[in-house]
Structure formats: C-alpha cells, structure tokens
Structure 1
Amino acid sequence: MAVILGINAFHAGAAAALLVDGEPVAAMPEERLNRVKYYAGFPKLAIARCLDMAGLDYSDIDAVSLGRNPSANLASKVGFTLRNIQSLPNLLKIRSNRGALDDFKALISSECEVDPAKLRFKQHNVEHHLAHTASAYFMSDWEESAGFTLDGSGDFATCLMSKCEGSEIKPLYRVNVPHSMGSLYMMICDFIGYKKYGDEGKVMGLAPLGKDSYHETFEEMLHLTDKGFQLNLDYFMPFGASQGMSITDKGEMVVDRHFSDRIVEIFGEPREPYSDYAGGIGAGRRRGPAGLPGRPRPGLRRAAHLREGIHAPAQSTAPARAVGAHFDGRGLHTQ
C-alpha cells in the first residue's frame, strides 16, 4: 500500500489530501474545521481528519508532497533580483517566512504533535504551477491534453502552458513575475476596497452591475505577447517593494497595497466598494484586450488548445475570467 499526503500550507486555502495506491480517498480544507475563511496557516486538523477518514496513522504515510519548490525557476529569480537589487531584503524576508516548509518531518511533528520517530515518509516539492496542472489533468479522463494555469504567482511563475501526455507534463511556456493577471485582479480589488484575500469573487459578482466606463484604461494595463502577456508596470507597486501579502495570528491572509500612484492619478483616492470599476475590468474581459472582439462568458470554460488540436479539461481561475483569454499554441487570444 502506497500512501501519499498532499499539503497546501502557509497560503490561503490551507488543505490536505490523501491518496492510497493512486486513488484519492480523502481531502479536507482547514477552514471547514477551524472556521477561519481562507485559512493560511498549517492544515494540522485537515491532515488528522484525512488520516482518520482513511483509517490510517501518521506512520503509514510514505510520501508528503507540497505544491511549492524553492529551486524552481531559479535562473529567473536570480536575474530579477540582480535587475532589481532594491527588492532583495524583502525577497529574503519572504523566503525566510517559508523556510519552515523545508523540513516536513519537523513541521508535522511539531504542528501535529507526533513523535518524529513515527514519521518515515519522503518529502517531495512540486513546482507550484505543475501541481495546479496535475490536479486537473491526472483527475481527468484525458490521455493527452493541454495545460493552462493562471494565478497571482507561485515559485516565481504566474502562468504555465504545458503539454500533458500519458504520465508526463511537459512545460512549454512560462510567464514570470512581475507580469501576473492575478496581480492585476488583486490590484483592482484592493483599490475599490475589497482588501481581503478571496474578495475577488465578490468583485466578479459586481462586475455585471457596473458600467463600461474604463475599458480603454484596462487595455493600457495588459498587453498580449506571442508567448503570453505583459503588464504595464506603471500601474503597480514594484514587486518586492513590500511583502505583498502577510498572514495574521488567526491565519487570515492580508493583502498589502498593490496599486501605484498612477492609479490614484486616474481614478482618484482609493474607494469603498463600488461596482463601476468592477464593471470596467469585466467589460474588458468580455470585449477582449486591444479592441479585439469577444463574447460574454462567466469564466474560462476550457483550457488551451495546442496547435495539434488536442483538447484540454476545463480549468478556471479568477484572473482568466478577467481577460477571457485562451492559448492555442501560438499565443493568447481573446474570446
């Protein structure tokens, strides 16, 4: 019997999942047990509940996997730091805050109050976006597929386009920090008063109620390229200027300021929740960047097509809803 424990820790949505002989047998978000929405601490209650549901003990775990790999995209990290040396102190601070994840056995022993002598598992770190892709592809019925993931950032990447075939996921293109559709959505949410991590969903709900007043401004914030996209960084706080996000003692994620003074010059002082700004970014998503035609849809209904015409299982993210883009093997195109 092979037992694999998957963990999301020290980020919003802390959770645990358990596989036995390759089959998922239990999964649990920590917030369902400690009642802290989007809990961002360590999922000790979720781990215990998953093991209990499967009738297993900590000593039965053969492998523990985390969707984060500090060694991933190392060249890009070093290059960015050398070009933006002023960000180094804060980047080191971010790294030190995540250092507890380097030794899973010590962490689980401490957090779950388990005798370390009982822990015999091997530790595996999986690149953030590969973990996202795997969670969709390996749970699907597809033998081959395209993979397309978008979020704020993970292991220095914000978007991954990959080819999935058999038991392998082959990365094709990455978009790296600081160009992030997740940061774009988070920045707007921050400016209009929705500052809690997870409030992006509320803004998406407000978007249809707003007026299409700011479409041209949003076109200036995001530009498509042959292999992804780029942000106009004039509208954003420099990456590394602050930690970006922090975790309270209660395990809640707090988002620091993301918008630059340029946003204030255009829109005025930061707002209380107000739907016109949500409507602007929503309309940009429906019509498509750079005036390209688009059609309304609630989200990214399917992942990318590769040039060979391989279809992908559906995977949707808030940033994808913001621009309604998909990848077809040549670049990002609006729909």
Structure 2
Amino acid sequence: MNILGISAYYHDSAACLVSDGALVAAAQEERFTRKKHDPGFPACAARYCLRAGGLCPADVDYVVFYDKPFSKFERIFETYLAFAPKGFKSFATSMPVWLKDKLFQRTLISEALNEHLGSDIDWSRRLRFSEHHLSHAASAFFPSPFHEAAVLTMDGVGEWTTTSLAIGKGKELSVYREIQFPHSLGLLYSAFTYYTGFKVNSGEYKVMGLAPYGEPKYVHLIKEHLINIKEDGTFHLDMNFFDYCTGLTMTNGRFDALFGGPARRPESRLTQREMDLAASIQAVTEEVVLKLAREIRTTTEQKNLCLAGGVALNCVANGMLLREELFDNIWIQPAAGDAGGAVGAALAAYHLMLEKPRSIHSGDSMNGAYLGPEFSQCEIEESLRKAGAVFTTESDETLINKVAHDLVDGKAIGWMQGRMEFGPRALGGRSIIADPRSPTVQKQLNLKVKYRESFRPFAPSVLREDVSEWFQLESDSPYMLFVADVTSRKQLPMSEKEKQLFGIDKLNVARSEIPAVTHVDYSARVQTVHRTTNPRFHRLISKFKELTGCPVLVNTSFNVRGEPIVCTPEDAFRCFMGTEIELLAVGNSLLRKEDQSRALMKDYRSCYQLD
C-alpha cells in the first residue's frame, strides 16, 4: 500500500511517501525550486518521493491532501459575513482567487497530478482529504515511540481549529477538544511578529530569538487587553485589536495605541521596545502552553505527550514544558508546521481510513528526519566538475580528520552529507559547522556567512552520550526542538559591569566555555547527535572532541538568509562560493576556497529576498 501525502497552497508545501505504513521519504518543495516557503503544488518533492521509493506513479494507491479546502472556504466566508461591512476590500481581493482555484481544489490537485505525475491515471479516484489538525496530530502521534499518548496541536488556523487535544492509542487517534478561529495562540504570536517588523509565517523564530534580550514589560497589557487565559489554558482573544479576520494586516490602530506607536518598519533598527515586546509575547505563550499541558495531564492521565503545529516549533516553550516534568516523555514532530501535514495526512489515511496496524519503534519512525535526497559519490563528483569546482576526494577517515582539524583552526565549514533533513532544522545533513569555543563565531557567521541579523543564535550539536555534562538536559533532543541551559560548571561568571548591559550590548559577553552557542540567558537550542541515525556526523564530533575535549559543534542550516537549505551538490557549491565559508565537504569531496576560480565567486545575497 503506497500513499502519497501532500501539503500545498498556503506555505511550506511538501510531499511524503508512506509505503505499508513506513515513512520512506519526505521533502519540502522549496528545497527543489529554491523559493523560500514555496506554497505551490509540490511536484518536485512528489517526484523525488516516488524515486526514493522505487515507484512509478501508477504504484500510488492514494494521494491524501492535508486539509479540507471547502471547510476552510466556509470559515473565511462566515468570518467576512460576521464582520461585514468591515473588511470588504480584503474580501473582494481574496474571493476571485478562492472561486477560481482554491474552492475547487479537488480539480486543481487532480490536474496538477496529471501534469506532473502522469495523465494516464484517474487521480481524482485516488484523491482523499484529511483535516488540518488531524493531519498535525497524526504527524505527531503515529511516528512517535508511544503506544499511547495525549496529542496537543497548536498553530495559526486550519479549517476552523487553532488548538486541539487528541488521544492516540495504538492505531487509533481521536480529537477530543478544540479551540476555534479567531482565537489562536499562533496568530497572536504572528501578530507580534508583524508588529516587531518581521515576516509572518517566517519570522516567528526571530521573535523567539530576540526575546532574551528584552524584559517582559508588556505581559500585563497583553493579558489585560488582548487575551483572556483561563486556568485550564483555554483562551479568548479580543478581536478589536486585530485585523487578520478581515484586513490585509495582522494588527490595527488600537493595537498601535496600546503599545505606543506603529509597527516597526522591516529591516529598520531594532530597539529595546521590540526586544521587550518579544520577551512579553514569549512569556504569554509559555503560560498558555504550560496551563494547557497541566490540564491535559490532569484530565487525560496520559503519561506521554506529542506536539505538532507551528507553535510546537517554539523550542523555548518546549524546553520549559520539559523542565516542568508533567509528562514522563515528550515527542515533537520535527516538521511540526504545515510541511509535516503531508506526513500526518498519509499516516492518518493508512491507520484511520484503511485501519492498518501500526509498528512502534523504540526511538521513533522519522529516521532522524533524514528523509530527503542523497547523492552517490559519483553523482557528487560529476556535479562538482560541471560547476567548475576544484576538489579532492578523500577516504572517510581522512575527510573526518581534515575537517576536524580545520574546525579547530577556526574555519567555517559547509557540511553536506547523506540524506537531506525534512523540516526547518539542519541536523548534520545540510549544515554549516564551526568551533563553539570561539567568542567571535556567532557574530562572524551571522554577518559574513549567513548575512542575517547579529542577534540570532546558533545551535549546538552535541554527542548524545555527553549531553548532560554540557547542558541541563537528560533526554534525547535529536530534532533541535528543546532549549536547555548550559550546565553551571561550564558557565562563565559575569562582571557587575556586564550585568548592567541592555539589549544587543549583551551579545558580546561570553557566557560559557562554548560562547558561540550560548544565548544571552545561558540557554541553547540543543541537538543530540546519535551514532545510529547520523554515524558520520557523530564521528566528526567525536574526532573534534578527541582534539579539543569538547563534544559540541556549532550547527546552523546550510544557506544564506532568504534561501532554502541547500539540497544538491550544485546548491552547496553555489552557497560556498557566494559566502565566506572556507571549506566545503560534500560526501567524500573536499573543497577549499583558496583553490577555487575567483570568476565563480559572486554576491550571493542578491539572489534571494530577505526573510
């Protein structure tokens, strides 16, 4: 039984292949088209998934879309009627698009499948539709290592639902409670993303990264005027301050007046006000998540919790939840946003629609999230030669040894190995890596390699067996979805003068023995690296530890700001030549910047829009 899961037409389109209940392949369309958050039909991703499974289109038994377009249209139409005549401009703008394309997505999807996968198949007979939050819940529970668990999903909005509680048992999964639009924790967070000058559905992680530079001064205003939080974690928003129901912006003039001025212009200078706003909405988000989790633990008596939906990518809130120890175990879908809906839709069809049994794995069934394309050494060398690259081909041992020594020498290194990751995090398959002991690496990587804001933190990849020595974390964190503090014995004391610093001035104070991955609040977004799921990355970190005593590397995604993570050897070479990365390791091929033709270098930043 082969099921193709599809997520498309909003943002982060993706496809996945489930064969006889096993997740064979999954990828976001943006990685192939090179368009960040590409919302289009995932033709390239779907074709890749079939190749990975050794299938032709006729072998696909079902194609499952991750939500129900008509229900979504119903919600939008009813919302406009409820707020009429306000929002008529937005209504008039969106209705022709809905009536032309989105309302009749069964036809649209069938035509796309005909165009991209084959016109000799009656795709409409194989097409099924899941429900948005059920797709999220299925993506969280079915790949998890639990026979039984509570499942909490939180995002902007699906059809109507913004937050849901489901219970999973074996191959069964049922939704028990929901919070519905317009009351949405995800949209509240996105409102502050917009107001602080970042892009909605893209910049929320910037708000999270900015929060430790501020003080939660606005929490009382948010809770007094914007959101009413009950003790069980359910909430109600005052829509007088928001425009996302009917307008073309997230917030309105009342929101501006409440916080003392208009929204920050994108790319303008960040002030302490934006930092304090970020700290405030982060604190409110954590309060809601914690109260919801407490209520779930009390009412369901479940010992395991699974999370999905865009809010589940808030790894600071996840770390707080882990430290509370409300549940014995927490598992989060690594592609928790809409891309992961493709996985959930396919698995929901297999287990719920077809009533097929579920296999439970001791870790999980996501294969470390390494579900994307990989390239043979022959393919790598052919691609690099066509691109004009100068490289050497090394044995495994020599490659590991040379890269480790270059890391010790302070070089920033592009690391492309094995299968590409599925989801927003680079996990050692498509990463830029560096020495975390350097006090200047964070700023240099942000400004000279990633070309992004200096405040944005980098994550540590640490050997699983050494994690508790360096971080206040005892459990696995393979998907970089939990924040934990650096252990006190690795922290560096701050002087009284340093303690008085505010805002971005805090950035240049080394806080631990691994300052490049230690945020201003002593926290870090930890990835535990496991020998079984990524043996080559594990070997590299082990070699670095042998040379330095430190089992940690800086790990950031292999791309520049506004670019999707690299997918192919050609992508990796272009990014290498357009940035100040000094060494590139693709498979067993090693490239040094000084050996390359200067004619191939260009200003890479101009290729992509800012995120």
Q: What's the TM-score, normalizing by structure 1?
A: 0.79
The correspondence for 2:161, drawn from 145, 157, 164, is 157
* Equivalent in the alignment of 2:114: 109
* 1:241 equivalenced with 2:234 (yes/no): no
- CA contact under 8 A between 2:4 and 2:64: conserved in structure 1? yes
For residues 200 and 154 of structure 1, do their structure 2 counterparts lie closer, same or farther at Cα, with a shift above 3 Å needed? same
Out of 125-134 and 88-97, give the one that drifted further.
88-97
Which structure's CA Rg is the greater one? Answer: 2
1:70-89 mapped onto 2 (5 Å cutoff): 70=69, 72=71, 80=79, 83-86=82-85, 89=91
* Equivalent in the alignment of 1:53: 52
The correspondence for 1:232, drawn from 238, 244, 247, is 238
* 1:313 equivalenced with 2:313 (yes/no): no
What is the aligned length? 302
Aligned-pair Cα RMSD in Å: 3.2
* Equivalent in the alignment of 1:253: none
- CA contact under 8 A between 1:302 and 1:314: conserved in structure 2? no
- CA contact under 8 A between 1:223 and 1:229: conserved in structure 2? yes
- CA contact under 8 A between 1:212 and 1:283: conserved in structure 2? yes
Amino acid at match of 1:107: A
CA distance in 1, matches of 2:148, 2:227: 31
Deviation (angstroms), 1:259 = 0.6
Deviation (angstroms), 1:18 = 0.1
Deviation (angstroms), 1:306 = 5.6
For residues 71 and 306 of structure 1, do their structure 2 counterparts lie closer, same or farther at Cα, with a shift above 3 Å needed? farther
Amino acid at match of 1:166: G
The correspondence for 1:176, drawn from 174, 180, 184, is 180
The correspondence for 1:201, drawn from 178, 202, 205, is 205
Amino acid at match of 1:22: G
The correspondence for 1:263, drawn from 255, 264, 268, is 255
1:318-333 mapped onto 2 (5 Å cutoff): 319=311, 321=314
Deviation (angstroms), 1:222 = 1.5
Out of 303-312 and 127-136, give the one that drifted further.
303-312
Deviation (angstroms), 1:83 = 3.2
- CA contact under 8 A between 1:147 and 1:304: conserved in structure 2? no
Instruction: From the two aligned structures, give the one with the greater helix fraction.
Output: 2
Gap runs ≥5 in structure 1:
243-256, 329-335
For residues 174 and 42 of structure 1, do their structure 2 counterparts lie closer, same or farther at Cα, with a shift above 3 Å needed? same
For residues 238 and 45 of structure 1, do their structure 2 counterparts lie closer, same or farther at Cα, with a shift above 3 Å needed? closer
Deviation (angstroms), 1:323 = 7.5
SS of residue matched to 1:315: strand
1:124-163 mapped onto 2 (5 Å cutoff): 124-163=128-167
Out of 213-222 and 146-155, give the one that drifted further.
213-222
Deviation (angstroms), 1:233 = 1.3
Deviation (angstroms), 1:228 = 2.2
Deviation (angstroms), 1:161 = 1.3
CA distance in 2, matches of 1:305, 1:100: 41
* Equivalent in the alignment of 1:37: 36
Deviation (angstroms), 1:84 = 3.3
CA distance in 2, matches of 1:199, 1:81: 27
- CA contact under 8 A between 1:302 and 1:315: conserved in structure 2? no
* Equivalent in the alignment of 2:171: 167
Out of 274-283 and 129-138, give the one that drifted further.
274-283
Amino acid at match of 1:270: A
State the percentage of identical aligned residues: 27
CA distance in 1, matches of 2:257, 2:160: 30
Out of 71-80 and 168-177, give the one that drifted further.
71-80
For residues 6 and 305 of structure 1, do their structure 2 counterparts lie closer, same or farther at Cα, with a shift above 3 Å needed? same
Amino acid at match of 1:128: H
- CA contact under 8 A between 2:69 and 2:102: conserved in structure 1? no
Deviation (angstroms), 1:241 = 3.2
CA distance in 1, matches of 2:209, 2:294: 20
Deviation (angstroms), 1:279 = 1.7
Amino acid at match of 2:284: G
Deviation (angstroms), 1:55 = 1.0
What are the Cα deviations for residues 81-123 of structure 1, in whole angstroms up to 9, with x where unaligned?
A: 653344684574564342352133222113x162243758611
CA distance in 2, matches of 1:207, 1:151: 20
- CA contact under 8 A between 1:100 and 1:107: conserved in structure 2? no
CA distance in 2, matches of 1:168, 1:314: 14
CA distance in 2, matches of 1:73, 1:270: 29
- CA contact under 8 A between 1:6 and 1:65: conserved in structure 2? yes
- CA contact under 8 A between 1:158 and 1:177: conserved in structure 2? yes
1:271-310 mapped onto 2 (5 Å cutoff): 271=264, 272=268, 273=270, 274-285=274-285, 288=287, 304-305=296-297, 307-310=299-302
- CA contact under 8 A between 2:75 and 2:159: conserved in structure 1? no
Gap runs ≥5 in structure 2:
327-611
Q: What's the TM-score, normalizing by structure 2?
A: 0.45
CA distance in 1, matches of 2:59, 2:174: 31
CA distance in 2, matches of 1:143, 1:95: 40
CA distance in 1, matches of 2:43, 2:199: 27
CA distance in 2, matches of 1:144, 1:219: 35
Deviation (angstroms), 1:168 = 2.3
What are the Cα deviations for residues 190-221 of structure 1, in whole angstroms up to 9, with x where unaligned?
A: 11110253110111001111122211112121
